[in-house]
Each structure stands twice: as C-alpha cells, then as structure tokens.
Amino acid sequence: MNLQTGIDTSAASGLEKPPISDRPLVELSHVEKHYGRLHVLKDINLRVCQGEVLVVVGPSGSGKSTMCRTINRLESIDSGVIRIDGQLLPEEGKDLASLRAEVGMVFQSFNLFANKTILDNVTLAPMKVRHMDKKDAEDLAMDLLARVGVESQASKMPSQLSGGQQQRVAIARALAMKPKIMLFDEPTSALDPEMVNEVLDVMVELAKEGMTMICVTHEMGFARKAADRIVFMADGRILEEGKPDEFFDHPKSERAQEFLSKILTH
C-alpha cells in the first residue's frame, strides 16, 4: 500500500507492467457541471496517478462522457478544480492548448480527417502544435502506425480502412502528441464485433507500457484484465470504486448490482 495515495500497487491489474507512481496526473476535486437545469456532474472527486489504468463504467446518461470532456476542457465546469499533472486547467488560450496536448483523447467515432491520408492524419498535430519538422513527424507517425499494426495503410485514405483500423489510427494520432494521459470514451462501441478485440489489444499494450489511462467502456473482459481500478458512475455521481474483482464480484450499491446484472446476463 502506498500511504500517500492509498493505492495498493502490489495487487494492481492483472498485467505485467511498471508500478503505479504516487504522482497524480489527473485530479478532479468537487467538480460540478450543469447543462441548463440538468445537473450532470455532482461533486466529482477523482485522482488518477501515473501508470494507473482507470475504467469508468455506468449506465447511459450518467455523465461519463461529460467527465472525460471536462478533463481536457472540451467542456467547462461550473465549480470545482481540475489539475493535470499538478497544473490547474487554464480557461483558454495558449496554456490551455499546451495542457490539452498532454491529454490524448479517443472517441467512439474515429474523427479522422476524411480528406487526408492516414500518414497525414498522424503527422498533422505534431507538426502544427509541437512544431516538429516533417521528416521527424513522419518517422514518429510510421513508428506509431507500426505499433498499432496499420503501417501498411499509411498512404490510404480513412474511408479505405475498416472501422477497427481507423480506430487504431485514431489511437496512433493521439499518441503522436506524446500525451501523459490517454482518455478513451467508448472506443469500441461503434465497431463491428469482430473488430473490437484488435482495438482492445492495442489498449492492453499501452497499459502494459505504463500509460496512464482513463477508459470509459462496457468491455468487461478488458476492464477485468487491464484496469487497476473501476469507477462506477450513475446520475452524475461516482457511486462506487474499487478493484475490478471486488467491483464485479461484490458490487456494493444496488445501482451497481442492477447495472452489472443487466450487462452481464447477455
């Protein structure tokens, strides 16, 4: 047990990977958010340390996506504090852009630039935001495309790739910014079933390399295997958190029991 963080790193996820450090990369304290009269985030307190894989589960509409989007300020918050690697999330401007670059995000829909090649999709941001020269950006992009297993597709257009391949490119594109944290918001939900595993495999590899990850997913096999911790959200609140086995085998709240019985009976 690490006394500072309270995280028991000795029995973290089932993966062989570097130990979780006690350096918090993402911290949300008392975060509140409304959409008009709808209270979508209610006193969210969350801390994710370097090397930790957090899986967020919960029924649709519980605020999972909103929480992810507040972490790189795609959404503003009403009150509370969000820190990325100890730094307060800036309101706007250059500081926000650079802090946002620390957080890679992969969405349900792949959002690749349809009129650019796979290679250009990956080199664009490093050249524009990190001011990397073209050759270096291309070398980096080819390394990353190889890592996610689609290097042979580099000169194609996104529409020529399968959904699973496009999502792996989206992961490579996010990694090209050398983020400290990766956020995944239901990255496999839009995929045909036979393509789900090829994307989860890439995520497992990232976890093994020690990437700090926040993953919203309904893939419970992945969650059990790769998560160090599960957070269960319902109605805008974090209702429960714990180790995967603890959460899946002995959910404490009625909401979590009900949620699990729904998704696990099929």
Ligand X SMILES: Nc1ncnc2c1ncn2[C@@H]1O[C@H](COP(=O)(O)OP(=O)(O)O)[C@@H](O)[C@H]1O
Work out whether 60 is an interface residue with ligand X (CB under 6 A): yes
**187 binding ligand X? (CB under 6 A):** no
**Over 211-245, what HEC string results?**
CEEEEECCCHHHHHHHCCEEEEEECCEEEEEECHH
- Contact pattern for ligand X over residues 29 through 48, marking x by CB under 6 A: ------x--x-x--------
Q: For the CB of residue 126, give the shortest distance to ligand X in the complex, in Å.
A: 29
Question: How many residues of this chain interact with ligand X, rule: CB under 6 A?
Answer: 11
How large is the angle between the packed helices 118-128 and 163-175, nearest 10 degrees? 20
Q: Are 148 and 204 contacting, i.e. CB atoms less than 8 angstroms apart?
A: no
Q: Which does 263 bind (CB under 5 to 8 A by kind): ligand X, Mg ion, none?
A: none
Strand partners of residue 52: none
Binder of Mg ion out of 13, 62, 65, 212 (CB under 5 A): 65
Give least dist CB 33 to ligand X, A.
Answer: 9
| Three-state DSSP state, 59 | coil
Q: Which of 65, 72, 123, 217 binds ligand X (CB under 6 A)?
A: 65
Nearest approach in angstroms of CB 237 to ligand X is 11
252 CB burial (10 A radius; 0-12, 13-18, 19+): middle
The tokens describing 93, both together, are 């401007």
Site for Mg ion, rule CB under 5 A: 64-65
Site for ligand X, rule CB under 6 A: 35, 38, 40, 58, 60-66
